[in-house]
Amino acid sequence: MVSDMSKYEPLQRYLAQQAVRELPMTFKEIETVLGFELPDSARTHRPWWSNNVGSHVNAAAWRRAGWRTARVDLASEKVTFVRDLFPQDGVAETGAAWRRQDETIVLTEGALSRTAVRMIDDAAEQLNVDRTQAIAAILDACALERRRRLFESLPVASVPPGFDSTAIIRADRDGH
């Protein structure tokens, strides 16, 4: 006898192998992957497609693969799976784009575009480091640039004419 959990494993494996960020599928395509028809509730009740793994073994399958449902169209029998950019610890399997493993983020090369892989390889060569260190350097540079843009977007404080900061410091020091 096949358990409810294992019957959705083909969908989990299929999603884990996908190298896209968004995957629209018809219910028929999902049934082909699974090898059986979806239950009637999948066609009539939107909550069947929720991402709540607590009571839905079907949702546990796509969540373990690092995906979530984003758009469900019951009338057209279509659902769009979206790669979860912030998976919960322990949810994503090795086939997902990335997952956490202890304090390490594991990124699968298949989830990256050729341009991204080339960028990593170029940085590794230029910095004379391995790919892991190159990825860290790229992410650090992106974070620094993002922080710079944030600070540049903040208004610059101006001091009104005749303002005396030493008077304020003295008053504060003297308890006035």
Amino acid at 40: D
> With contact defined as beta carbons under 8 Å apart, do 118 and 104 qualify?
no
Total structural domains within the chain: 2
> Residues 63, 117: one domain?
no
Residue 23 lies in a domain: yes
> With contact defined as beta carbons under 8 Å apart, do 48 and 140 qualify?
no
> Residues 118, 79: one domain?
no
Residue 45 lies in a domain: yes
Residue 171 lies in a domain: no
> Residues 71, 127: one domain?
no
Q: What span, in angstroms and rounded, lies between the C-alpha atoms of 77 and 162?
A: 70
Residue 37 lies in a domain: yes
Residue 73 lies in a domain: yes
Mind listing the pLDDT tens digit of every residue in the chain (176 residues)?
A: 344 557 999 999 999 888 888 999 999 999 999 999 999 999 999 999 998 877 788 998 998 888 899 899 999 999 999 987 644 433 333 344 555 556 677 777 777 778 888 889 988 998 899 988 988 888 888 888 888 888 888 887 777 787 777 887 888 888 76
pTM for this predicted structure: 0.49
> Residues 116, 77: one domain?
no
Q: What span, in angstroms and rounded, lies between the C-alpha atoms of 62 and 50?
A: 11
Range of the structural domain that residue 122 is part of? 112-153
Residue 139 lies in a domain: yes
> Residues 53, 120: one domain?
no
Residue 119's pLDDT is 87
Helix, strand or coil, per DSSP, at residue 104: strand
